[in-house]
Structure 1
Amino acid sequence: MYTPKYFEVQDSELILEFIKNYSFGTLLSSTKDFPIATHLPLDVYNKQGHTYLSGHFAYANPHWKLLKENPQVLVTFLGPHAYVSSSWYAQENVPTWNYVSVHVYGTAQLVEGEELELMLAKVLKKYEQGRDNGVLWDTLDPTFLKQEMKGIVGFKIKVEKVEASFKLSQNRNNDDYKSITNNLKNENDVSAIEVANWMEKMRPINEN
């Protein structure tokens, strides 16, 4: 991923936080003819000193079969993004686009049996816990679960390389940075406001 030094992030904890918060990723593989991509929710975790992503395909999705032939994959995560108007700078300039993204490269393998069940139970706990009448793994009928699991294929990816591009106007002076942040907050757009929040997280606007 092309990333100018201004926008490159190597803070592993910050990147992990980002992936957890924007966990709906795009899994890309290569075939001899063309690339193939699947959009799906992913979990990130550490085990025995290694970082992994995990998820599952619908059985009818042929992408999982490709992982057996070519396990090398790229997963992209895109966070908030927003247009930055050139009118927000003190000096004449051109508009741009701010965004937060992470690319993860690794080796995939299929998962089944108890390991897959534990993965699915963890996902349900993450998204259902705390909800009224939350549906957790242990509350579902075992016969129903056994039948439904025939319709999916689980996988995990051992992470080998991570690239993070947080393009948040770090190359601008403090006055412009503050102007961009404030104007994004005033946009009638949730993503723009999230970008402003990330800008304040990366560089507080009261910084001298």
Structure 2
Amino acid sequence: MYTPPHYSNSDIEEIKDFLRNNAFGILINIVDNKPWGTHIPLELETAKNGSDILVGHIAKANPQWKHFRNDAEVLCIFNGPHAYVSSSWYKEEEVPTWNYIAVHVYGALQVLTEEETMQSMHRLVDKYEKSSKNPISLNNLSAKTLRQVKGVVGFKITISDIKATYKLSQTQKDDHHTIISELEERPDSGSQGIADYMKD
């Protein structure tokens, strides 16, 4: 991912926090000589050796997993809010642009055992059920229902590199107040999200 220096974010703790809160990403590898992407939850976790990993699973019906090669490098893409920025909000004449947050994570993929995959599903469900009115636990589901785990392939990705772009009008500092104000007047979540990030 091309990132001009003034838009690059190297604050690893901030980026990790972003990944935890924006875990629905795109897993990309090569399938039949073409890039193939699948939109799935990719949870940031810590391996037993202390390294950062992403954990996920895909359906066995998805041909992507047949091209998983242990320790082969894959790309995972995560998107945050994004919003159009009108040049009418600038004091000086300038072209319109788009503000956004995107994180690219590279790493080596390894397929998990069925037991490891089930453990990862327990963690996934427990995380997202916390905010439910009536939270469920996989522990309370029948063995018949849980057999569906045989229809997925679990994996972990040992992270080797992270590239983060936080394009937040850094080159238009004199116009920040106006840009934030204009974004806040829009009803869409992307504009609201970018305005919040620009305030930080």
1:42 CA drift (Å): 1.1
Pair 1:59 & 2:49 matched: no
Is the CA contact 2:183–2:192 (under 8 Å) kept in the aligned structure 1?
yes
SS of equivalent to 2:69: helix
1:1-208 paired onto structure 2 within 5 Å:
1-31=1-31, 33-47=33-47, 48-68=49-69, 71-145=72-146, 147-173=147-173, 175-201=174-200
Kept in 2, the 8 Å contact 1:129–1:136? The answer is: no
The alignment partner of 1:172 has SS state of: helix
SS of the equivalent of 1:153 reads strand
CA shift, 1:130, in A, is 3.6
Equivalent position amino acid for 1:162 in 2: I
1:185 and 1:27 mapped to 2: Cα distance? 32
Is the contact between residue 75 and residue 105 of structure 2 (CA under 8 Å) also seen in structure 1? yes
Amino acid in structure 2 at the alignment position of 1:192: S
- Amino acid across the alignment from 1:67: F
Asked if 2 retains the 8 angstrom alpha-carbon contact of 1:110 and 1:153, the reply is yes
1:69: how far off? Answer: 7.0
Aligned identity (percent) is 41
Q: Deviation at 1:144? A: 2.2
Residue 129 of structure 1: CA displacement?
2.0
Deviation at 1:95, TM superposition (A): 0.2
CA distance in 2, matches of 1:69, 1:136: 31
Distance 1:130 1:29 in 2: 33
Identify unmatched segments of 5+ residues in structure 1: 202-208
Aligned residues: 199
Please report the TM-score for the alignment, with normalisation by the length of structure 2: 0.95
Runs of 4+ in 1 over 4 A off after TM superposition: none
Q: Which amino acid aligns with 1:7?
A: Y
Query: Amino acid of the residue matched to residue 78 of structure 2?
Result: F
Counterpart residue identity of residue 189, structure 1? D
What's the C-alpha RMSD, in Å, of the aligned pairs?
1.4
Q: CA deviation at 1:113?
A: 2.8
Deviation at 1:33, TM superposition (A): 2.4
Contact kept? 2:113, 2:154, Cα under 8 Å:
yes
Superposed displacement of residue 70, structure 1: 7.4
Tell me which amino acid in the other structure corresponds to 1:63: Q
Task: Determine if contact 1:30/1:70 at 8 Å carries over to the other structure.
Answer: no
Asked if the contact 2:44/2:55 (under 8 Å) is kept, the reply is: yes
Cα–Cα, structure 1 residues 189 and 62, in superposed 2: closer, same or farther, change >3 Å? same
Amino acid at match of 2:189: V
